Chains A and B, each alone.
Chain A
């Protein structure tokens, strides 16, 4: 799960990491007020769940409160398109107004779990800023890494290794080490999947400051962080993905095709999408029903399909294991009772309790095309979707 920059900075501050002074505005008037309180030059930063804001016009500098008001007005209520967003962009509902910082150096600092070593890794570089990925590609030796053992936690020597490695001045070593320790504490305490400060700046006054920050959280751990979960801004998600989330369907990704896919298991769902593409069609979505055996989720999946105007046919491919095919079948029948779904339906069922599942569907009044094997399912769905769009 992602959160906004201003929320990430509030968490950093809570864990003792210095951030610029500032406030959040949802109207131009608020932006003006914050700017006049801060005094002097301020930065106006669009709060969106996407990187690449600077190049896309989502970060501007204002010299006066009046200019802050004007720039905030130009951003608020618009949609920002960056290289990381869809062409429709993401809505700018609030801006962060921050005291402008005189920067001496731009560094990079992050923590992520490294799958290969199965440990969190802290990465630091003296070449922070917008081109850090290019730095990593061209000169990987400029990215310093220390691996973190949960049993010992982050140790001061690891901090010194990174701080001296980034060629910080003697006076900056201690504050840098303590900042890193605090970032690790935050990462662990809040079950982050990513904690990234880029850039971490040294100001002209020689102070270390998190000028930008990105925190992502492990979805699987949100059950123990209700404070974090409530920060989630559904406005930033694709409307259908937000709707899926609201309906309790976590594994839904909107795509650009016209075949609504309901599959159990992520691997099988991806394989179905691969096959649809090979058969000359395009999936409208990725949807993994997950392993919960309740008919409600299936009904909700059908609600999603009928909400998506692009969907011309529905493909159901279920290979039961922990998922029981009879429960899925009941869900499909229930969905057709509850909602007016006239989309053509291609169904393929196999695995745990398949006979019972097929009987339930056959005894209902649902019209559907039965598919026998894997490729047949994709081919029939592609044909059906073409027929439906005529």
Chain B
């Protein structure tokens, strides 16, 4: 097993005819993902990479029974694309787009409240269940099927981590990039919940970043609900302090955005903290050896 995507995933790509959309669709197909439809308004009826293109998500779903969508639409139109996918009843929407205005995302979250759609991203690399399905930008070949779940706010630091795991012979069940935006569709805690339930996931790597309080919420979930071991790293201990958001920023989140505070919260919850970003794989290896 794995979480969110597997052999049964029938992927639709919104923005399939754009340069990034078509490039990554092709790589997903090469990896073995079943890409069943593309949507680009005005290009319905055509075909790209052997995939039929539709004008609307609704038509695409009706014709192809797509059950997941990956979005490559430019930032000004991306919120609309997410809503369209949710309106068509797609259960999993992965929004790759970077640079969506925050208030557009506030509107999206408000709309998704009453829907069953799960959103991953925006501003994320997508996700992969190695050997089964890839709905994202990551290079498939660095992954190895296995039992460690990976969840991260950063795209490229996830690739780095996965490469470390794979080179040590540690395979992954699913790797999820939740994205670096302040208002992600799914949080660390949401994904940890799924890994906790997944019987093929034995341990989890969590990669955080400075800013916000998502790592503290993850720590709370780990402490209260998680029985599987978690290895964690939070990037940015040496980064310059964030741009000040007036007094309001400090009032709403205090000093919780610092890497040191986040790592302390995760350690307190029982997660094992990797001493450096170059040793995340090694820390997982040691932990798995001690367990067995």
A-to-B contact residues, CB < 8 Å: 51, 84, 108, 110-116, 118-121, 123, 132-133, 136-137, 143, 149-151, 188, 191, 193-194, 196, 198, 214, 216, 218, 220-221, 223-224, 253, 255, 263-268, 270-271, 273-278, 283, 286, 290-291, 293, 319-323, 350-352, 354, 373-375, 378
Contacts and interface: CB of A to CB of B under 8 A. Distances in A.
B209 interface: yes
Given A112-B248, A137-B254, A224-B76, A374 B160 contact: yes
A113 B233 CA distance: 26
A191 B163 contact: no
A191 B101 CA distance: 8
A217 B239 CA distance: 23
Closest 9 CB pairs of A and B: A267-B154, A265-B156, A221-B101, A271-B277, A375-B278, A267-B157, A268-B156, A270-B236, A270-B235
Given A112-B245, A113-B103, A214-B246, A274 B183 contact: no
B180 interface: yes
A84 B217 CA distance: 29
Given A115-B182, A322-B20, A265 B157 contact: yes
Contact of A253 (B76, B183, B240, B278): B240
16 contacts: A112-B246, A113-B102, A113-B103, A114-B252, A115-B214, A132-B247, A194-B248, A267-B209, A271-B157, A273-B238, A274-B276, A293-B20, A320-B139, A373-B278, A374-B160, A374-B278
Contact of B239 (A112, A196, A273): A273
Contact of A268 (B136, B160, B213, B214): B160
B44 interface: no
B157 A268 contact: yes
B276 to A, nearest CB: 6
A319 B245 contact: no
A365 B278 CA distance: 30
A143 B250 CA distance: 12
Interface in B27-84: 27, 75-76
A267 B276 contact: no
Contact of B237 (A119, A198, A221, A274): A274
Given A115-B182, A118-B106, A322 B160 contact: no
Contacts of B98: 290-291
Contacts, number: 198
B266 interface: no
Interface string B75-117: 1100000000000000000001011111111110110000000
Contact of A274 (B107, B138, B235, B250): B235
B154 A150 contact: no
Given A120-B106, A273-B236, 16 more contacts: A112-B252, A115-B182, A115-B212, A116-B217, A118-B109, A118-B183, A132-B247, A133-B251, A198-B246, A218-B102, A223-B76, A263-B156, A265-B157, A267-B207, A352-B139, A375-B278
B202 interface: no
B240 A255 contact: yes
B250 A133 contact: yes
Given A150-B110, A220-B101, A271 B251 contact: no
A136 B244 contact: no
B130 to A, nearest CB: 15
A17 B107 CA distance: 26
B210 interface: yes
Contacts of B214: 115
Nearest to B185: A118
A219 B238 CA distance: 24
Contacts of B217: 116
B157 A196 contact: no
A9 B56 CA distance: 44
A62 B238 CA distance: 44
A322 B246 contact: no
